Amino acid sequence: MSTPVLDKTRLFRNALGSFATGVTIVTARSAEGADVGVTANSFNSVSLDPPMVLWSIGKNSSSLAAFMEAERFAVHILAAEQEHLSGRFAKSGTDKFAGLEIVRGHGDVPLLQNCAARFQCRVAFRHEAGDHYILVGEVDEFDHDDHAPLAFHSGRYGLFVRNEPPAAAEGAAPPLLAELLVRAEDALLRRVEGAMGESGLSLAEYEVLRSLVDLPLTLEDLEDWAGPAQEIPTVVLVEDLAERGLLDAPEGGAVSLTDAGRDALARGTAEIAAIEGTELGGLTPHEAQLLRRFLSRIAASAED
Amino acid sequence: MSTPVLDKTRLFRNALGSFATGVTIVTARSAEGADVGVTANSFNSVSLDPPMVLWSIGKNSSSLAAFMEAERFAVHILAAEQEHLSGRFAKSGTDKFAGLEIVRGHGDVPLLQNCAARFQCRVAFRHEAGDHYILVGEVDEFDHDDHAPLAFHSGRYGLFVRNEPPAAAEGAAPPLLAELLVRAEDALLRRVEGAMGESGLSLAEYEVLRSLVDLPLTLEDLEDWAGPAQEIPTVVLVEDLAERGLLDAPEGGAVSLTDAGRDALARGTAEIAAIEGTELGGLTPHEAQLLRRFLSRIAASAED
């Protein structure tokens, strides 16, 4: 698995990519008073006392001159939501700051908002190293918010998900995914059931309405159908919903939603979404997003 | 949200922690021929041509002297499975290499195995910076494997999970989690159903056996019970399983598994686990691990 280095720049870049990093934008104000900024993932801490950080800038960067002259720079550690800023500051030739709300830091350095952390620095050293310069800054002011960080690995943006201590039942076989799915669904439905109210629908009624949006079925078709939360026969539910004006259920014809039925369904969906939006099982919004993504992939895999 | 820096080392450390990093172990051979190694997340790339990397070592590190004298060092980017090595090399006073299978690189520097990437370096520069030295190495050999990386953020180990392009249905409301759970479960059960064979159980029979391990029920109790994959009444399944010698179902008493029933259940569990172990929906083993973790947390949340 060894590779002698000749001019294998691409292979070297790939190997470097296996080190996960955050993403930063470093800004400065040029001697002519222009705002400059570049995306860099070569940031890192150096010293705690005095507080110092470093990053590297390529000799062919269009912002090199400004950063070689400026006495100050500011490093912004990007939050997960700021991927678009990373892309914007990685390209040259555009006004990178156009439309961004900035504030002025020490030395009028432009500071971006809503980052995970910001470090305002005085340049302590500039060290030449190959095709880059290492810029070491002494930090004289910083701030920090608890945003989930933007992460970068092998040329792709992503998220950091922390490890958890191993579960109590160490050594035991892990529970089957099929069982976990059933248990999670059960827990979620119990939550939803307990909280639905304003829409005037039970969860079982909601499921009946929801299923009829996609496929118009006759009462006969519905005899065999049952949603996960359902204990009352579907035909009974349908008759009740029709009496309340939420469904049209003509003898022998397809059952369909009325306008009132569509409204009730929309309110029910909003209610369920609101419950799912609470910190279900302590999942952060990013973790919940990942969970949805994984489930979608498994659901889609049945179509392979 | 601004914090002037005085001696707020802890706050500074927290702010630095918001930059996600990989984790490396840097090794060298001291002038006296001893192997040394330290854990560092201050690694980063510097130059592509010539290939150069850097990291920082604290002035109070017990390995400082060795690294200040050594002409060579090797950086190992740790894989997700190597968290234990990170902990081992972060402590001093023990034989960090005890029991590890190492190979010798250039200059007899000890090289660890099964890392995400390794860089063998000649020291190019050592720059003092506050309470650390920055060590810049020119890379003369490296290798790289496609291991998932160990990641580090805010003092916690974790995983990197890459972002995916937004789904086709842009702008539409995301599907409800409750629906995704049902769809994923459905897809998984369909897979499992199609693949179960050696255990001699249908999925519905498996579910009946599985449920009877935890709670011994009478035939009467079982009349109302049904597993997710079930279309045949439970009492009919139980009678059939009893005839095949997998269940004891005494008149009026609790239904329980026979030894043969336990064996069949174990084979069925192994079969399902094997199906779940395939790349379900293209999930990597780490993604599947995260999915289980998230589902467990939601399942447990019903007990709040």
Provide the pLDDT confidence category of residue A289 given band limits of 50, 70 and 90: confident
pLDDT of A139 over the 50 cut: yes
Report residue B97 as tokens: 């290499």
For residue A80, the chain B residue with the least C-alpha distance is B163
- A269 contacts B283? CB cut-off 8 A: no
- CB contacts under 8 A, A 64-93 vs B, are 77, 83
Contacts of B173 in chain A (CB under 8 A): 269, 273
The residues pairing with B45 across neighbouring beta strands, listed in sequence order, are B53
Residues of B in contact with A113 (CB under 8 A): none
Q: Report chain A's mean pLDDT, rounded to a whole number.
A: 86
CB contact under 8 A, B130 and A51: yes
Closest CA to A109 of A181, A26, A166: A26
User: What is residue B115's DSSP assignment?
Assistant: -
B 229-268 → A contacts, CB under 8 A: none
CB contact set of B229 (below 8 Å; sequence gap of 6+): B189, B193, B203, B204, B207
The residue that leads in pLDDT, B164 or A297, is A297
Which has the higher per-residue pLDDT, B50 or B5?
B50
Q: Among the listed ranges A108-112, B165-169, B231-235, which one has the minimum average pLDDT value?
A: B165-169
pLDDT at B139 over 60: yes
Q: Provide DSSP, B149-185.
A: BEEEETTEEEEEEE--PPPSSTTSPPPPHHHHHHHHH
Asked if B190 reaches chain A (Cβ–Cβ under 8 Å), the answer is yes
Q: Where are the beta strands (DSSP E) in chain B?
A: 3-4, 21-22, 24-29, 35-40, 44-47, 52-58, 72-77, 103-104, 110-111, 117-129, 132-144, 150-153, 156-162, 217-218, 247-248, 254-257
Please identify which residue in the block is written with the tokens 């110092």. A52
Is the CB of B18 less than 8 angstroms away from the CB of A147? yes
* Range scoring the smallest mean pLDDT among A12-26, A95-109, B253-267: B253-267
- Residue B291 with chain A: CB contacts under 8 Å: 177, 291, 294-295
Nearest C-alpha in A relative to B282: A297
Ordered by where they begin, the domains of chain A are 13-159 (2.30.110.10), 177-301 (1.10.10.10)
Rounded CA separation A286/B288 (Å): 16
- Per-residue confidence (pLDDT) for residue A170, from 0 to 100: 46
Q: Which residues of B touch A145 (CB under 8 A)?
A: 1
Q: Worst-scoring range by mean pLDDT, B57-71, B211-225, B254-268?
A: B211-225
For the record, the structure tokens of B152 come out as 């580090």
Closest to B77 (Cβ–Cβ): which among A19, A43, A127?
A19
Top pLDDT among B93 and A16 is at A16
Mean pLDDT check: name the lowest of A109-118, A254-263, B101-110: A254-263
Specify the higher pLDDT residue, B88 or B252: B88
Say yes or no for a CB contact (<8 Å) between B134 and A132. no
Distance from CA of B292 to the nearest CA of A (A): 7
The DSSP output letter for B79 is B
Whether the pLDDT of residue B198 is over 70: the answer is no
Question: What is the spatial distance between Cα B188 and Cα B174, in angstroms, rounded to a whole number?
Answer: 21
Residues 6+ apart with CB under 8 A from B207: B227, B228, B229, B230
Chain-centroid distance of CA A49 in Å reads: 34
Region A206-232 average pLDDT: 73
pLDDT at residue B83 is higher than 90: yes
Q: Percent of chain B having pLDDT more than 70?
A: 88
Distance from CA of A303 to the nearest CA of B (A): 8
Give the Cα separation of A21 and A39 in Å (integer): 13
A206 in contact with B, Cβ within 8 Å: no
Task: Search chain A and give the residue with CA nearest B58.
Answer: A47
Among the partner-chain residues B1, B13, B159, the one whose CB lies closest to the CB of A161 is B159
Beta bridge partners of A139: A121
How much is the average pLDDT of A135-154? 94
Question: How far does CA A242 lie from the centroid of its chain?
Answer: 41
Per-residue pLDDT band at B5 (split at 50, 70, 90) = very low
Q: Is residue B172 less than 8 Å (CB to CB) from chain A?
A: no
Residue A5 above 50 pLDDT?
no
**Are A298 and B18 within 8 A, CB to CB?**
no
Residue A150: predicted pLDDT: 95
Best to test chain B binding among A16, A213, A267 (most B CBs inside 10 Å): A16
Strand, coil or helix: B90? helix
Is B175 part of the contact surface with chain A (CB cutoff 8 Å)? yes
CB contact under 8 A, A162 and B153: yes
pLDDT band at B130 (very low <50, low <70, confident <90, very high): very high
Q: ipTM score of the complex?
A: 0.73
Q: In chain B, which residues have their Cβ closer than 8 Å to the Cβ of A46? A: 42, 56, 129-130, 132, 134
CA distance A285 to chain B (A): 12
Cβ of A181 and B12 within 8 Å?
A: no
Give how far the C-alpha of residue A264 lies from the chain's centroid of Cα atoms, to the nearest Å.
30
Q: How many CB pairs under 8 A join A and B?
A: 388
E strand residue ranges, chain A: 3-4, 21-22, 24-29, 35-40, 44-47, 52-58, 72-77, 103-104, 110-111, 117-129, 132-144, 150-153, 156-162, 247-248, 256-257
Average pLDDT over residues B233-261: 87
Among B residues 101-120, those touching chain A with beta carbons less than 8 Å apart:
116-117, 119
Chain A CB within 8 Å of residue B270 CB: no
Q: Which residue of A lies nearest to B19 if distances are taken between CA atoms?
A: A22
* Rounded percentage of chain B residues whose pLDDT exceeds 90: 49
The answer to whether the beta carbons of residues A112 and A102 sit under 8 Å apart is: yes
Whether the model pTM is above 0.95: no
Element (H, E) at A209: helix A203-214
| Contact yes or no for A102/A113 (Cβ under 8 A) | yes
User: Which positions in chain B touch A165 (Cβ < 8 Å)?
Assistant: none
A161 touches chain B (CB under 8 A): yes
Q: How confident is the model at residue A226 (pLDDT cuts 50, 70, 90)?
A: low
Distance to chain A for B266, nearest Cα, Å: 11
A166: CB partners within 8 A, 6+ apart? none
Higher pLDDT, A134 or B272: A134
The shortest CB-CB distance from B164 to any of A21, A136, A293 is to A293
